[in-house]
Amino acid sequence: MTNPATTTPPIEVRLQLQRSGFALDVDMQLPGRGITALFGPSGCGKTTCLRAMAGLEHAPLGWVRVHGEVWQNDGVQDGPRIWRPPHQRALGYVFQDSQLFDHLDVRGNIHYGLRRTPVAQRLVAVEQLVELLGIGALMERKPATLSGGERQRIALASRLALRPKVLLLDEEQQAAMAKTVGECASRTYNLLCHRHLEPGTSEAFRAYVAALHQMYLMGMAMELKRLGYHMTKLN
- Residue 114 belongs to some domain of the structure: yes
Q: How many angstroms separate the CA atoms of 51 and 225, rounded? A: 28
- 193 and 124 in one domain? no
- 83 and 113 in one domain? no
Q: Is residue 4 predicted with pLDDT exceeding 50?
A: no
61 three-class SS: strand
- 84 and 32 in one domain? yes
- 143 and 128 in one domain? yes
- Residue 100 belongs to some domain of the structure: no
pLDDT for the residue 27: 93
Whether 11 contacts 66, CB under 8 Å:
yes
- 178 and 165 in one domain? no
Q: Is residue 2 predicted with pLDDT exceeding 50?
A: no
| 163 or 207, which is more confident | 163
- Other Cβ atoms within 10 Å of 203 Cβ, number: 11
Q: Is residue 153 predicted with pLDDT exceeding 50?
A: yes
Q: How confident is the model at residue 155 (pLDDT cuts 50, 70, 90)?
A: confident
Q: What is the mean pLDDT of the chain?
A: 77
Q: Is residue 176 predicted with pLDDT exceeding 60?
A: no
- 140 and 84 in one domain? no
Q: How many angstroms separate the CA atoms of 93 and 77, rounded? A: 26
Range from 17-21, 135-139, 172-176 that averages highest in pLDDT: 135-139
Computed from CA positions of residues 175, 179, 180, 184, in that sequence, does the dihedral angle turn out positive or negative? positive
- Residue 234 belongs to some domain of the structure: no
Q: How many angstroms separate the CA atoms of 216 and 212, rounded? A: 6
What values do phi and psi take at 93, rounded to 5? -130, 115
Q: Is residue 169 predicted with pLDDT exceeding 50?
A: yes
- 159 and 208 in one domain? no
Q: How many angstroms separate the CA atoms of 125 and 4, rounded? A: 35
Q: How many angstroms separate the CA atoms of 104 and 114, rounded? A: 14
- Residue 95 belongs to some domain of the structure: no
Q: Which of 220, 95, 84, 85 is closest to 158 using CA atoms?
A: 95
What's the rounded mean pLDDT across residues 129-153?
Answer: 86
Q: How many angstroms separate the CA atoms of 30 and 141, rounded? A: 38
- Residue 59 belongs to some domain of the structure: yes
- Residue 231 belongs to some domain of the structure: no
- 11 and 85 in one domain? yes
pLDDT digits (tens, 9 = 90+) for 43-97: 788 888 999 999 998 988 999 999 999 999 997 778 889 999 988 888 888 877 6
What's the rounded mean pLDDT across residues 186-195?
Answer: 67
What's the rounded mean pLDDT across residues 34-46?
Answer: 81
Domain termination residue (choose one: 169, 187, 218)? 169
Domain termination residue (choose one: 122, 145, 169)? 169
- 110 and 44 in one domain? no
- 85 and 158 in one domain? no
Q: Is residue 5 predicted with pLDDT exceeding 50?
A: no
Domain that holds residue 165: 106-169
- Residue 51 belongs to some domain of the structure: yes
- 154 and 192 in one domain? no
Cβ burial 40-51 (10 Å sphere, 16+ → b, else e) = eeeeebbbbbbb
pLDDT for the residue 71: 94
Q: Is residue 38 predicted with pLDDT exceeding 60?
A: yes
What's the rounded mean pLDDT across residues 192-196?
Answer: 71
pLDDT for the residue 214: 60
- Other Cβ atoms within 10 Å of 36 Cβ, number: 10
Contacts (Cβ under 8 Å, ≥6 apart) of 11: 29, 30, 31, 32, 65, 66, 67, 166
- Residue 233 belongs to some domain of the structure: no
Report how many domains make up the chain: 3
Domain termination residue (choose one: 169, 187, 216)? 169
